[in-house]
Every structure is written in structure tokens, then in C-alpha cells.
Amino acid sequence: MSTRLILATRNQHKVTELRAILADAGLDVELVGADAYPEIPDVPETGVTFAENALLKAHALARATGLPAVADDSGLCVDVLNGAPGIFSARWSGKHGDDRANLDLLLAQLSDIAEPHRGAHFFCAAALALPDGTERVVEGRLLGTLRTAPAGDGGFGYDPILQPLGETRTCAELTADEKNAISHRGKAFRALAPVVKDLIA
């Protein structure tokens, strides 16, 4: 009988992505999203690092359900901004989840920064927490540079301005499969698979 594992998200794309990665790793795990437990409220992200936020969500779900839980937190880290927007990526402009306002504000802040200094990366911390308090955190990064104007219709968030190293296109110009193969979250989830295998599968 497979072990049930819960992922702290209501985003079905994330559930599908992690489910495929765990299957590729040969793990017999039944992965469900937070929608399977609608009575459990979303956990406020009050941590000051990606890892803290991921652990907060994973532990809260593990406690509430009695099941092993996975959570992730991610964002854009800009070199000349000392790693900002970082954990504030989704609310950089002051309003949570306004992708366009966040992107426009960041481009305005970097308007006089020359191309050689526009290095940035997407970062993801993924955490696994067990009901007994056991925890593990893994990380994934997608290195790149920031364009001066958005390009591409795919993806979300800051995808239209981050051009991965070695690429001529932005993340928003890549196909979903191309992006998943190199994405920070994909890397973190793939790093999580052996941890899941060791601890619960």
C-alpha cells in the first residue's frame, strides 16, 4: 500500500509536477494537494527565509493531517539588490500576487543597471516534514540575467524578464517542458525524491 504524502499547495500544476518526479524516481507514493483537506487553513508565511517558510507550511500540514507533508517557497533573487525581492517576490509592489506591478517596479528599480550587472536567479526551498517533527530541506536554483523589458507569454511572475544562463530566450518564452527541465522548483523537487525515499517510501 502506497504512503500518502500531502503537498502544501492548491496549485494543481505543482502537484502534477512533483507526482511525475516521484514516479520517475520509482516511488510508490500517493501525492495529494492541500485541496484534499479543505478544512485546513492556509499557513501564513511569516519566516524570513525561503526554508523557514517552506518548513512552516510543511510542519503545519503534517501536524494537522498526521501525514508526511511537503511544502516549497520560492522567489527571485537579484544580485545588485542583495538577493531581493527574495521572500517578498510575490508582494514586491505591495500587493500580493500582482505579477505585472511587481515586474514593472523591479524593472524601474534596475533601469540604470548595465547588462553585466543584471545577474539574478530563481530560488526554491522544498521541505519535507513528518508528523514526528522530522524535517529535511533541499534547494534548487535557476541562474540567469534580467532583461530590460518582458518577453514571452508563458510562465508567470518574473518569468518574462529572467533569461537563463546559456539561453537566448526568457523563461516565459520556453515551453513548459523546457522550463520544468531547468526550473528551480523542478531541481528542488528532484532533490527531494531521494529524501522521500529515505524517510517514508
- Residues serving a catalytic function are 73
Helix 184-199 / helix 12-24 crossing angle, nearest 10 deg: 60
Q: Is 158 annotated as a binding residue?
A: yes
Is-contact 132 69, C-beta < 8 A? no
Nearest to 138 by CA among 73, 45, 66: 73
Instruction: Tell me: is residue 10 an annotated ligand-binding position.
Output: yes
118 annotated ligand binder: no
Instruction: Say how far apart CA 159 and CA 131 lie, in whole Å.
Output: 35
| 11 assigned binding-site residue | yes
The candidate with the shortest Cα–Cα distance to 145, out of 179, 176, 118, is 118
159 assigned to a ligand binding site = yes
Ligand-binding site membership of 9 (annotated): yes
CA distances from 7 to 64, 131, 158 (A): 13, 14, 23
Does residue 73 have a known ligand-binding role?
yes
Binding residue positions for substrate: 9-14, 74, 156-159, 179, 184-185
**Which residues carry a binding-site annotation for Mg(2+)?**
73
